[in-house]
Amino acid sequence: MDSNIIIYKEFIMKVELYHTSTELKQLFRKEKNPRTAARIRAVYLAMMDKTAPEIACLLGYTRRTIQNWIYAYNREGIEGLKESCGRGNKSKLNEDQIQWLRQRIEQRPTGEDKVCVFHAVDIQRIIKKQFGVSYHVRSVRKLLKRLGYSYVSSRPEHPRGAPDKREAFKKKSVIRSGKSVLIIMENK
């Protein structure tokens, strides 16, 4: 016998009788979320004495996934099949600290900040100093976005640039004059 062949014993899965097969059929047909509908359908097929590998083949999922869904249904019923919102990471700052930070940002930089405008690095430093909590700069940006702040920057101007020449150029620009412009691009 070849050692590369894996034989799975196909057992019919036990399904708790929270619903009849007719009720399950109606539930998966009415379900708006297609993922939940597929899970309910898997339970329905298991109730019809299909094995996990057969259901996996019919629905396009792995045998283990089907077994997990049946296990979840047996534990919690239909609620066990519905998608739950991910918990995500908890904020390192509590609500009071976030309120303090919001007020601090609204006050604008002070002399001890040694900056004209706040950047994420500056907010990171303030959080570390005030609360002793370390944030990555990217996480500070995400926190600021969640608080409703966005990154706004003025366009840079050269210190020796002449504003009058810039305005004259804008007024004389070919594009603004309404004339046709032919752009030729060559491949090299």
Q: What is the pLDDT of residues 33-47, one digit of tens each?
A: 999 999 999 999 999
Prediction pTM value: 0.46
More confident residue, 117 or 9: 117
Residue 143 CB contacts under 8 Å (≥ 6 apart), including other chains: 91, 93, 123, 135
Mean pLDDT score, 71-95 = 86
pLDDT at 94: 92
What is the three-class DSSP state of 163?
helix
The three-state secondary structure class of 88 is coil
Q: How many CB atoms lie within 10 A of CB 61?
A: 17
Average pLDDT score over residue span 57-86: 90
Higher pLDDT residue, 159 or 125?
Answer: 125
pLDDT for position 63:
92
Contact call for residues 40 and 15 (beta carbons, < 8 A) = no
Gap between the Cα atoms of 114 and 127, Å rounded: 16
Torsions phi, psi for 12 (to 5 deg): -75, 135
* CB-CB contact of 158 with 166 (8 Å): no
Query: So what's the pLDDT on residue 30?
Result: 93
Label residue 159 by pLDDT band (50, 70, 90). Answer: confident
Q: Cα torsion for 165, 166, 168, 171, to the nearest 10°? A: 170
Share of the chain above pLDDT 90, in %: 49
**pLDDT confidence of residue 6:** 46
Q: Does position 182 have pLDDT exceeding 70, yes or no?
A: no
Percent of the chain scoring above 70 in pLDDT:
82
Q: What is the pLDDT averaged over residues 8-30?
A: 85
| For helices 34-47 and 21-30, angle between their N-to-C axes, nearest 10 degrees | 160
Q: CA 133 → CA 92, 123, 129, distances in Å?
A: 7, 12, 8
Helix orientation angle between 95-106 and 120-131, rounded to the nearest 10 degrees: 130
pLDDT for 87 equals: 67
